[in-house]
A and B are shown apart, each in its own frame.
Chain A
Amino acid sequence: MEETKNILLVGVGGQGIILASKILSQGLINAGYDVKMSEVHGMAQRGGSVTTQVRFGDKVHSPIIGKGQADIIVAFEKMEAYRWLDYLKTDGKVVVNNYAIPSVPSLTGKIPYPNQILEDAKELVENLTVVQAADIAVELGNIKAQNIVLLGALLKAMDISDMEWDIVLKENIKERFLELNQNALKAGMDAV
């Protein structure tokens, strides 16, 4: 029996985490896995932290994981990567977008945004990959595709990039944005 794998996606409201998680989960279902995905709704849309958890394997019980249990964390914002590191297995992987979204205490000047946060994360995590997802997405034509760049990077890092992701993209993305997102997925895979 294959061990259940745990993926934690973290970021900020509006970054497209829910859609990326949906595509990921649907692809895993299509590939025959048992899948559970948990998302935090509610106040998240108002600029708060957003997290989703995707678990897959032969048989998945709990929809959520605890601290020290994620095989991989994919962070859409770099401070969020650090915030959730205690959920990572001590030998787990991190894929992090080199992108900062300061929160209100930093915007109002109360607490400065921690510019060294990536270095701090690297000190703790051996297997950490930095992806310039925002730059890649802008180069492809739209910063909003950074979520799919990061999804591509995740698929590669988890060694599941050879499943039929194109079908799931077509099911979940509007026709006029499809090519952009297909390119974004591929660019993400190449970035790892």
Chain B
Amino acid sequence: MTKVFQISLGVLAAIGGFVDIGDIVFNAAAGATLGYQLVWAVVVGAVGIMVYSEMCGRVACIAKRPVFDVVRERLGYKVGLTTLLASQFVNAMTCAAEVGGVAIVLRYLFGFPYRPLIAVALLLLLVSVWFLPFEWIERVFGFGGLLLIVFAVAAVKLDPNLGALGHGLIPHIDTPSPLIWCYFAVGILGATFMPYEVYFYSSGGVEDGWVPPHDLKLNKLTAIAGYALGAVLSISIMVVAAELFVPQGIEPGFLGTVALAAQTPLGEAGLLLALLGMLFAISGAAIDTSLAGAYNMAQFFGWEWGKYRKPGGAPRFTVTWAAFFGLAFLVVISGVDPIFVTELSVVFSVVALPLTYVPILLVAGDSNYMGAHANGRLASTLGWLYLVAIVVISLAAVPLLVLTNMGEG
């Protein structure tokens, strides 16, 4: 696989995983509620997912093990099974939210009723994963999601307060509701650390047969560049929300509100680019989550797996990702608000996160597995620092959800 295609693996994982329906609405809500106060959270989250993703990629390259293979081995069957169930629950919720998000964006684009569009969204996603080879999934959804750069353009056009933006890089509370500040901080960190991104990324690395030293460098570049771009897009959404919504007292409760933020400075072209960018990014995230769910099951139970294979070459893996889409369809068609489901999935994924992070941290630092490529001083320091951060936010997430009424006060 050429270098360009390999980097696009990271771009897909980054765009689809970093900027999914949860990130779009959460960053817009944080910007509209708190202005620039949580820019630092996006940066801290981005560095964290770079660390996590780089370790996963390195483990895939050197030890040839994807995440759930390592989870079972290092945590044992008992804890590993609990981790699997928790992760699959979160994957299923996230997939449902993304499928619903795709239907919502299709509605904004075409104006047709919502419920039939849920079926259209399901069909498009099933057909894409069934027929498109892995590289084409990356190209179509990864690069399509890059249209979200329109928010960066909109942010520049709105002539943001750069002083306030810079001040936002330093954690500070400037609101009468510190609990709401904490809720959004945990939400943004949780949304950037969605683990399905790394399940997908590490499995792709094993499928692709990464070998050192070339692919190790590529892994680092992909992790850094991909998630850095994702962070820029997330901050752009926060900026447009801060500049447009705070002065007018608008609380973004819909994806359409975020699209309006691109339309206001950039007109119809901005609106269409924003909607198309959202369509590809959210679709990419839906595909990521369904495949991640299938990878997890297959790797934990030892089934054949792989998106490079035709569907018949990995039958139970195929049935599993299709089942994730099917379950997502049933959840969304029942009438549950996809944005509500997203907020819950972000919170619950934060709770389960330490269980998948710890085995990777241990293996990445273990020279029995990694030889000379075990965590160096920087990776080790960052890895353990982020473990502390992850444990803190995992303990705080549910209480904050309840105490702040999901950020509404």
A, B co-complexed: no
